[in-house]
Amino acid sequence: MRLGKILGIFAIVVLLGLFIVGGCAYSGYSRVISMDENVNGQWAEVENQLQRRYELIPNLVGTVKGLTDQESKIFLGVAEARKAYFSAGNRAEKIEAAGGVERALSRLLVLRETYPELRSNEAFLKLQDSVEGTENRLAVARKRYNDAVRALNTYIRGPLGRLWAGFAGVDQAKYFEISEAAKEAPKVDFTDKGGEGSGG
């Protein structure tokens, strides 16, 4: 009788332990899945803003081309940067291509300093406002995405987080960082064949 009681208590302790361990495992697994989904959701918002940016670029280029037909190198750079984004195969490549678009777009917008007629062109000014509004929304979306990436990556770097991430097949995510070249205001000099300075 006494042995049966001990075995019963032991069975309860084992079941309780299994329940606790299982609960922790489920909680950790669910947490890493939730964080990964949050990263994906925030990235989708970044892509929405990038898509809006890329839809505005052809109109902007067309307007600028109509007033400044000799800056073919800049127009080609914008077209190639935009194409690189749409041909990117994964998120990391898209992030890298987006940086190239930012640099090319900055060079395009800086033409307003060289061509006074752009500063007084209503279509250009409206498009410039739309691009700037999109860039502001993109900056907010990028920050939210990077915050989600930071939370996921921090969790995964812990020993238990690494374990649950391994079970869930979740890897660390890539930050959407702006390159130093894209942060700097571009300098464009049309006085020689060097054409467009890359920024300084």
Q: Is residue 192 part of a domain?
A: no
What is residue 200's predicted lDDT score, i.e. its pLDDT?
35
CB 67 within 8 A of CB 118: yes
CB 70 within 8 A of CB 110: no
- The band of 54, judged by pLDDT with boundaries at 50, 70 and 90, is confident
What is residue 179's predicted lDDT score, i.e. its pLDDT?
61
What is residue 1's predicted lDDT score, i.e. its pLDDT?
56
Portion of the chain with pLDDT greater than 70, in percent: 84
Q: Is residue 27 part of a domain?
A: no
**Position 194 pLDDT exceeds 50:** no
Q: Is residue 115 part of a domain?
A: yes
Q: Is residue 150 part of a domain?
A: yes
User: Mean pLDDT in the chain?
Assistant: 80
Q: How many residues make up the chain in this entry?
A: 200
For the chain, what is the domain count? 1
**Interacting residues of 112 by C-beta distance below 8 A, sequence separation 6+:** 118, 119, 124, 128
CB 196 within 8 A of CB 188: yes
Structure token digits, residue 96: 């890298």
**Position 195 pLDDT exceeds 60:** no
Structure token digits, residue 4: 């049966």
Q: Is residue 118 part of a domain?
A: yes
Amino acid of residue 158: G
| Domain around 111 | 42-183
pTM of the model: 0.70
Q: Is residue 32 part of a domain?
A: no
User: Average pLDDT, stretch 82-100?
Assistant: 88
**Position 43 pLDDT exceeds 80:** yes
φ, ψ for residue 191 (rounded to 5)?
A: -80, -15
**Position 44 pLDDT exceeds 80:** yes
| Of 124 and 43, more confident | 43
Q: Is residue 114 part of a domain?
A: yes
CB 26 within 8 A of CB 159: no
- The band of 180, judged by pLDDT with boundaries at 50, 70 and 90, is low
- The band of 186, judged by pLDDT with boundaries at 50, 70 and 90, is very low
**Position 85 pLDDT exceeds 80:** yes
Q: Is residue 132 part of a domain?
A: yes
**Position 128 pLDDT exceeds 80:** yes
User: Average pLDDT, stretch 188-194?
Assistant: 37
What is residue 73's predicted lDDT score, i.e. its pLDDT?
78
